[in-house]
């Protein structure tokens, strides 16, 4: 089964936190990248060496394709969640939609995905990162 890793987990892992499940998925070649997660990782406050390392690391993983239909589903997901009182950013809706489309497990430390999973078929493996869920 595919795995989508959210920026919160990538950032924590790059800072030295260990996530056995994510490492196992990496070894098994099950990680698929969300395009916006790549942009988030590379837009952070990091050095040129860090960005080159991140870029090189991410070369090994396939990218989830995001044609027009994907973005329509992202908008529909945000509308559905808003009707349930859950306000979600476009990047978080995109990451969730990537996981939903692939029937993948999402690894994240962000609480918003707990709310998304309550109202959608999102398969969430919440992880503790930096002392937060």
Q: What is the pLDDT of residue 35?
A: 94
pLDDT tens digits, one per residue of 83-133: 999 999 999 999 999 999 999 999 999 999 999 999 999 999 977 666 555
Q: What is the pLDDT of residue 128?
A: 64
Lowest mean pLDDT among 16-20, 72-76, 124-128: 124-128
Q: Identify the sign of the CA torsion 112, 64, 103, 53.
A: negative
* Domain boundaries 3-126, corresponding CATH code: 3.40.50.1010
Of 40, 75, 72, residue with least CA distance to 54: 40
Output the six-digit token pair for 57.
């690391």
Output the six-digit token pair for 77.
């997901």
């Amino acid at each position: 089964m595919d795995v989508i890793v959210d920026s919160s987990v990538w950032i924590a892992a790059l800072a030295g936190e260990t996530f056995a499940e994510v490492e196992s998925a990496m070894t098994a070649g099950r990680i698929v990248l969300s395009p916006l997660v790549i942009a988030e990782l590379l837009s952070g406050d990091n050095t040129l060496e860090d960005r080159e390392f991140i870029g090189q690391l991410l070369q090994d993983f396939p990218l989830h394709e995001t044609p027009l239909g994907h973005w329509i589903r992202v908008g529909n997901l945000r509308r559905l969640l808003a009707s349930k009182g859950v306000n979600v950013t476009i990047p978080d809706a995109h990451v969730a939609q990537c996981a939903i489309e692939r029937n993948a497990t999402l690894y994240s430390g962000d609480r918003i995905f707990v709310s998304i999973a309550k109202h959608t078929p999102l398969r969430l493996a919440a992880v503790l990162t930096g002392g937060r869920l």
